[in-house]
Amino acid sequence: MKVTSFLAIVFLFSMTSVVMAHHGTTGYDMTNMVTLEKATITEIEWTNPHCQIRFDVTNSKGELEHWDLEAPPPSMLAPREWTRKSLQAGDIVKIEFHGAKNGSPFGIIQRVTFPNGKILRAYPDR
């Protein structure tokens, strides 16, 4: 019985590095912040292991771009005044995030600013 318990504990600790690797930031340029004004929210996934925020924005060439941002899980957003209904499809906001290193339209959210000046932070300011 002691050997089985020991092996179970070893197995659980060995899985920790795999889980942490999945949620790393190595694919994002954490040295530069991207700011997009007039982003139109298209979809929010309020789920674990992390939330997703999708939005559209018109680029400098007048072309519509579709973006997908990773956000922390609901349990981390709720203490920062986020709720399931904080962002709704159709909301037009300013979004600040760290973009993908490969230039694809993906990123990791940092802040959302509403037209009335309200700011939602996804993480403590970095």
CATH number for the domain that contains residue 110 = 2.40.50.140
Please give the full DSSP string across 7-29, using - where no structure is assigned: HHHHHHHHHHHHHHHHT--TTB-
68 falls within a domain: yes
Give the SS3 label for residue 109.
strand
The reported pTM is 0.78
Task: Dump pLDDT digits (tens) for 72-126.
Answer: 999 999 999 999 999 999 999 999 999 999 999 999 999 999 999 999 999 886 5
Range of the domain at 62: 27-121
Cα–Cα distance for residue pair 52/105, rounded to 1 Å: 13
